[in-house]
Amino acid sequence: MCGIIGYIGKQNAPNILLKGLSKLEYRGYDSSGIAIISKNDINIIKSKGKLINLKEKLKNNKINSKLGIGHTRWATHGVPSDINAHPHLSQNKQIAIVHNGIIENYLSLKEELELKGYHFISDTDSEIIANMLEYYKEENFLNTINKTISRLEGSYALLIINKDDPNKLFAIRNESPLIIGINNEEYFIASDIPAILEWTKNIYYLNNKEVAILKVNSINFFNNKKEAVIKKISKITWDYEVAKKNGYEHFMLKEIFEQPNAVKDTIKLRIKNGLPNLDIKLTEKYLNVIDKIYIVACGTAYHAGLNAKNLIENLIGINAEADIASEFRYRNPLINKKTLVIILSQSGETADTLAALRLAKEKGAKVISIVNVVGSSIARESDEVIYTWAGPEIAVASTKAFTTQLSVIYLLVIQLALLTKKIAEKEAKSLIKEVKSIPKKIESILKEKSKIKEIAKFFYHDKDAYYIGRGRDYYIAMEGSLKLKEISYIHAEAYAAGELKHGTIALIEDNTLVVAVCSIEKLLPKMISNIKEIEARGAKTLVITNSKEKIGTYNFIIPEINNYFTSILTVIPLQLLAYYIANYKKIDLDKPKNLAKSVTVE
């Protein structure tokens, strides 16, 4: 997500802020900015695009200041632009803030402030915080802060500067991380450790709802009851490379473990009173005219698309087809005004997927896209876009983008099924309850990572592996085999389990790894006979299942969940399996050979 930096001390703040922001560039961002106090005035310099644009604007800056805040923005609300970049100023220009996180009730707070005469210039949720602080402003700024944060629902790491308190910097944290580095009489505040490692390894961690008030040579901490809090200094042991991955060995492992929060962030603002509440303009009238839905994507996104096809046909009853974009765009697909096209893409820049979108629009289809990068080409050219809020995905192998795509698909299919009266509100609520349980269930799978790590040890020397499944489990078998191929370079093939005996089973030898995904109850007996057939030929099987039966050579049991949604759980052990096998092979798995994070060429 966003990157935050703050400084108060003896050095010139703009230089420190720029250096700190440059240490956060690896996280991915689309705009940046700083705010400094000098001669009792707040100066804000910010720019869309890369940090080089901000540095250009600061080149002729002669403002000297010992105090300031900075921000790199990964857009979630509002496209990347100078106006949407942080810092944000209150209407009276007395208060500047930078924010990392999502304010869940920002729309209602924005309406409340507009009724009180406030005008907003950005599309962000963060700007309401600056005006809320102005609205609650009083002599004791700690009271102002406490009143403001008592109104905020959601996650925030906040840095605030206040013209009336020009020698103080205020830091507040709730859910989004915030650390305070100390070095002699200087303080460096940041959203994560890499930003300040250059200056200090001595840090304070802020706990939820704690406020820090920093002056040039003092710092005071308060809890949300305004009671003073004494804190111990912690010593960072990481170097910069390790710190960028938040202590994980690779970005991929960090992003696998970010999935519970990424899914939570993606769904929580889109469920209201127990029902899906996606902000899309598809009407019942429009949907009743639709006679075909294409879901188009590449790679991992295509596997999410296959899941979408299956759920659309099962829950909405409209004919759906999942297509690989590079095929779709050349096979002259039958499209007209009665066709809805759903585009899936993490980067929003994949050339084949963008070309497929343009073809669909040319032929008269309405296009909805599910994208992770705000303001990307696919997002901009779609009729409607639903963003996944996975945060920047750095590793080439896609993990949290996939599970957040699935979570959006679940909400979308339930919402459209409700809209077209294919399911009653009662069923929709029970399905949504299941969707809300997903983050915790992913967490419980991740807690058993060592089981997968142990199993991976037996197979990392292998040259071949096969992944099998039926229905939605087959699509996860495809995703699991792609993960293994792209980061361990082991040849892995996914097969519809019922198809294996029509040829490929000839390749099964002693100790061949076959991963079987079997989470669909009605297909379990068939899967068990496929597994037995394969084991009879010497294969070792890893079975990913919700059944309590001991089916394979190795078994990984996923938590119970409605059968429609098992894919978002069965994929997790397969992500871990690929990761640990590749790691045992000592491959640079964040940047696998021959691959790019976004395939912007055809």
| Rounded (5°) CA angle 142-131-226 | 15
Task: Name the residue number minimizing CB distance to ligand AGP.
Answer: 299
Task: State the residues that interact with ligand AGP by CB under 6 A.
Answer: 298-301, 345-347, 350, 353, 396-398, 486, 598-599
Minimal distance, residue 169 CB to ligand AGP, in Å = 38
Minimum CB separation of residue 455 from ligand AGP in Å reads 21
Residues 46/33, Cβ–Cβ less than 8 Å: yes
Whole-angstrom distance, CA of residue 301 vs CA of residue 97: 36
Q: Which is nearer to ligand AGP, 287 or 599 (CB)?
A: 599
CA distances from 45 to 13, 55, 94, 124, 415 (A): 13, 10, 15, 17, 42
Other C-beta atoms lying within 10 Å of the C-beta of residue 194: 24
Contact 534, 541 (CB under 8 A): yes
Active site residue 2: yes
Pick the closer one to ligand AGP by CB: 101 or 305: 305
Q: At what angle do helices 567-584 and 472-488 cross, to 10 degrees?
A: 20
Selected catalytic residue, list 2, 168, 245, 309: 2
Closer CB to ligand AGP, 256 or 298, in the complex: 298
Inter-axis angle of helices 127-135 and 141-151, nearest 10: 130
Cβ proximity to ligand AGP, 186 vs 258, nearer residue? 258
Choose among 509, 466, 508, 469: nearest CA to 490: 466
Which of 209, 429, 585, 597 is catalytic? The answer is 597
Angle separating helix axes 400-419 and 567-584, nearest 10 degrees: 170
Q: How far is the CB of 596 from ligand AGP (least distance, A)?
A: 8
DSSP string, 26-66: GG--SEEEEEEEETTEEEEEEEES-HHHHHHHHTT-----S
Q: Which of 520, 10, 60, 367 is nearest to 528 (CA)?
A: 520
Backbone angles phi, psi at 525, to 5 degrees: -60, -40
Alpha carbons 209 and 329: distance in angstroms, whole number = 51
Smallest separation (angstroms) from ligand AGP to the CB of 476: 14
**Residues in Cβ contact with 587 at an 8 Å cutoff, skipping those fewer than 6 apart:** 487, 488, 489
Known catalytic residue at 597 = yes
If the CB atoms of residues 193 and 298 are measured against ligand AGP, the closer one turns out to be 298
DSSP 507: G
Half-sphere CA count of 90, side-chain side, radius 13 A:
22
Least separation in angstroms between CB 147 and ligand AGP: 42
Nearer to ligand AGP, 223 or 598 (CB): 598
* DSSP for residue 101: S
Q: Least CB distance from residue 374 to ligand AGP, whole Å? A: 14
CB of 352 to ligand AGP, least distance (A): 8
What is the chain's percent helix, strand, coil content, to nearest 5? 40, 25, 40
Instruction: Give the nearer residue to ligand AGP in terms of CB position, either 278 or 304.
Output: 304
Cβ proximity to ligand AGP: between 176 and 369 the closer is 369
Other C-beta atoms within 10 Å of 241: how many?
9
Cβ atoms 161, 68 nearer than 8 A: yes
Q: Which is nearer to ligand AGP, 3 or 480 (CB)?
A: 480
Q: Closest approach of Cβ 598 to ligand AGP, in Å?
A: 5
Burial class (CB in 10 A: 0-12, 13-18, 19+), 506: exposed
Beta strand segments in 105-223, E = 156-162, 169-174, 179-183, 186-190, 202-205, 210-215, 218-222
CA atoms within a 13 Å half-sphere pointing along the CA-CB vector of 501: 11
Q: Which is nearer to ligand AGP, 295 or 397 (CB)?
A: 397
For residue 316, the minimal CB distance to ligand AGP (Å) is 24
Q: Is 117 exposed, middle or buried (0-12, 13-18, 19+ CB in 10 A)?
A: exposed
Q: Which is nearer to ligand AGP, 300 or 570 (CB)?
A: 300
Inter-CA distances, 322 with 190, 275, 293, 327, 363, Å: 43, 26, 8, 11, 18
Q: Which amino acid is at 254?
A: K
Catalytic residue positions, numbered: 2, 597
